[in-house]
Amino acid sequence: MFKSFAAASALAFALAVGPAYAQSGPSVVPGGVEEFAAMRDGVKLAANVFKPAGKGPWPVIVSRTPYLKDGPADKPEAPGRLAAQAKRYTDAGYVFVVQDARGKGRSEGAYLAFENDIEDGYDTLDWIAGRPWSNGKVGITGGSALGITGNAAAMAAHPALKAAYVVVAPSDLGEYRAPGGVPKEKDTSGWLKEQGVDDKVIEASRARIGDDVFWNHGSMSANRKYIRIPIYNVGGWYDIFQEGATGNFAWLQNHGAKGARGNQKVLMGPFGHGELSGDLAYPGYEQALKAAGDQEIRWFDHWLKGAPNGIMDEPPVSYFMMASARKGASSPKSRIMTSANWPPAHREVRYFLTPDKGLSTAPPTAEDSKTTYRFDPAKPVETVGGANLTFDRGPMDQRAIPTRQDYLRFQTPALDKDVVIAGPVKVELNAATDGPDTDFMAKLVDVYPDGYEAIVLDAPVRARFRNGRMADDVKPMTPNAPEELVIDLWGTAITFEKGHRIALHITSSNSPRFEVNPNTGEAAGGRKLKPRVALNSVYHDAAHPSALVLPVIYPEN
């Protein structure tokens, strides 16, 4: 199921106008009937409706998709595949509804990349609740863009919606598009350009990195307080939306409204938004996928049918603990673990940067120590793996990045015992630049005994956004004055095994994953100043310690 979501996810930000549609009748997908729902503004959205055998009404499961309910016209096998997916739900006793999003497929209107999905989600649920084949109890399901529309419908809080199953979806599209204030280049800006979106539209979006109502209209972090239903989240440690699964689960489980609080579940697996690249292979990969797929019908049976299947008696958190995983030599320490909450109970352990490019749990004692490098925007560091969408992704070997003065590798000695982490990872970086702005990039890396440098997590921070993205927080750097910049690497679960090394790589570019900073302090869109070479410094002395902060856990086995 994840492969199909990943293959479709490249459509997530397209702009399109829907074609004219026919009256309700048989769908091109076998077994379905095409019906149309009128939204509050009169726009009609097309849906395929699949019913179980026998006499209704029945509970309903719906997906709202920008990926074409009938499948792409150039893929004649699509209707059969979609019919098989629908049969999974109808065999379980549910009506299955899959609807083209506004402006997509056979739905009317203009597609504006999730801007209408809260309202359209509510109106679709209202339509479903009133249909003669519906008993008024509805669940919503889907992954990637379908997970985003599912979350939007949950925020709309229609009383007919009783539960959701959300796979690989973010908490904030704004944060996904520009983590740490650094726009993603290939996976958003570059991809939009390939789809024919006007350059002016792209530039306007790139320039709008600050925190404002535009980004927060459909933001889960701003609006999930309105959610009143149980949601089962599924995410991947190398997925582009990884933080959404754990972040949305944790907030709703612990702080959500009545109906949501205490009724959430999450499963995290060792996968990305598509097939992983590199020389690692996790032996429990298929097990994690199967575990996720097996839970969906159980979840809806419990919440839509009241089935006493025990799913709520099981731990709310299941996560895959990654470990040494070279192809053909994987470790038995890779396994699925459970927890009462996310993150699991852990101890923050700081690994401090040292002058000799080491990492040590002992705080630095030097009076004046820093490493300085020249960051030339014309010669960016190349992207090798990570949480990407449209190009190679996953735990690729960072040795592909050659030795260069602007790419700093800090690492521990070979470990004399396992270090096991599960939870959020961050870098507390004391750094300076000689101009008004620059970027700093951090990577958490698992270094194998043979030297393979497997990327685990990576993230950037744009210096002028170090204090936040609200207008009053944005501030240029004081040239050559060190300041702390916190880089949020999101979370993971991995065992750094005995004999391995824990590494932190620091640089100022990662292209084409992220936009390259011209170091001028100008926002994207309408830049006039010539890009400049920045002199950037990373500090590692007593007054300005820099540290990798890991969430260490102590499993019994």
For residue range 122-156, what is the model confidence (pLDDT) as tens digits? 999 999 999 999 999 999 999 999 999 999 999 99
Mean pLDDT score, 59-82: 92
**Model confidence pLDDT, tens digit, residues 452-468:** 999 999 999 999 999 99
- What DSSP element (H or E) covers 251? helix 242-255
- Would you place residue 363 in the very low, low, confident or very high pLDDT band (cuts 50, 70, 90)? very high
Q: How many CB atoms lie within 10 A of CB 332?
A: 8
**Model confidence pLDDT, tens digit, residues 305-315:** 999 999 999 99
Q: How many CB atoms lie within 10 A of CB 557?
A: 5
- 3-state SS of 182-204 is CCEHHHHHHHHHHCCCCHHHHHH
Tokens, residue 396: 């690729």
* pLDDT at 214 (0 to 100): 74
Looking at every residue in the chain, the average pLDDT score rounds to: 91
Q: Amino acid letter at 250?
A: A
Structural domains of the chain, ranges and CATH numbers in brackets: 1-165 (3.40.50.1820), 347-552 (2.60.120.260)
**Model confidence pLDDT, tens digit, residues 151-197:** 999 999 999 999 999 999 999 887 888 999 999 988 887 666 654 56
Which of 12, 349, 385 is closest to 188 using CA atoms? 12
* pLDDT at 12 (0 to 100): 30
Distance CA 87, CA 65 (A): 18
Q: What is the pTM of this model?
A: 0.93
Tokens, residue 179: 């983590």
* pLDDT at 2 (0 to 100): 36
Which of 233, 307, 188, 207 is closest to 525 using CA atoms? 207
DSSP 293: H
Distance CA 36, CA 31 (A): 17
Q: 91, 130 in Cβ contact below 8 A?
A: no
Q: 500, 447 in Cβ contact below 8 A?
A: yes
**Model confidence pLDDT, tens digit, residues 9-45:** 322 332 333 333 344 567 889 999 999 999 999 999 9
